[in-house]
Structure 1
Amino acid sequence: MSEENLYSRAEKRVDEKIGFYRHLYSFIVVNVILIVINILFSRGEWWFYWVTFFWGIGLVSHFIKTFIIFDKFDEKHRESMIEKEMEKMRK
Structure 2
Amino acid sequence: MRSHTATVPTADAAERLARRRAGAKLGWLIHAIVYLLVNTLLVTLSLSSGRDWAVFPLLGWGLGLAVHGAVVFITTGGAGIYDRMVQAERERVAQQPGAGR
TM-score range relative to shorter protein: 0.7 to 0.9
Residue 3 of structure 2 corresponds to none
Is 1:8 matched up with 2:9? no
CA distance in 2, matches of 1:81, 1:15: 25
CA distance in 2, matches of 1:46, 1:68: 34
Residue 47 of structure 1 corresponds to 53
SS at match of 2:73: helix
Pairwise CA distance, 1:69: 3.6
Deviations 1:29-76 (A, max 9, x none): 000000111122x21x211000000101011111111112433111x5
Residue 81 of structure 1 corresponds to 89
Residue 22 of structure 1 corresponds to 30
Is 1:66 matched up with 2:75? no
Greater RCO (Cα-Cα under 8 Å, separation 6 or more): 1
Selected match of 1:34 from 39, 42, 49: 42
Question: Between Structure 1 and Structure 2, how many residues are aligned?
Answer: 87
Give the TM-score taking structure 2 as reference length: 0.77
Q: Between Structure 1 and Structure 2, which shows a larger proportion of helix residues?
A: 1
